[in-house]
Amino acid sequence: MENHVAVEAKPVDKKKIAKIWKVAGILAVLTTVEFIIAFTIGAGAARNFLFIALTLWKAFYIVSEFMHLGHEKKSLKMSILLPLLFVIFLIFILIYQGSAIYDSLY
In a domain, 77, yes or no: yes
Please give the single-letter amino acid code of residue 76: L
The mean pLDDT of 67-96, rounded to a whole number, is 86
The answer to whether residues 47 and 24 belong to one domain is yes
The answer to whether residues 31 and 20 belong to one domain is yes
CA neighbours within 13 Å on the CB side: how many for 20? Answer: 7
Enclosing domain of residue 59? 16-71
In a domain, 4, yes or no: no
Closest to 52 in 3D by CA, of 26, 86, 91: 91
The answer to whether residues 63 and 20 belong to one domain is yes
The answer to whether residues 92 and 60 belong to one domain is no
The answer to whether residues 81 and 55 belong to one domain is no
In a domain, 94, yes or no: yes
Three-state secondary-structure class, residue 49: helix
In a domain, 66, yes or no: yes
Tell me: the pLDDT tens digits for 19-69? Answer: 889 989 999 999 999 889 888 888 888 888 888 888 888 988 888 888 777
What is the 3 state secondary structure string of 1-26?
Answer: CCCCCCCCCCCCCHHHHHHHHHHHHH
Please spell the DSSP secondary structure of the chain, one letter per residue: --------PPPP-HHHHHHHHHHHHHHHHHHHHHHHHHHHSPSSHHHHHHHHHHHHHHHHHIIIIIS-GGGS-HHHHHHHHHHHHHHHHHHHHHHHHHHHHHHHH-
Q: pLDDT band for position 93 (50/70/90)? A: very high
In a domain, 8, yes or no: no
What is the count of structural domains for the chain? 2
Task: Give pTM, 2 decimals.
Answer: 0.60
In a domain, 5, yes or no: no
In a domain, 11, yes or no: no
Is the confidence at residue 1, as pLDDT, over 70?
Answer: no
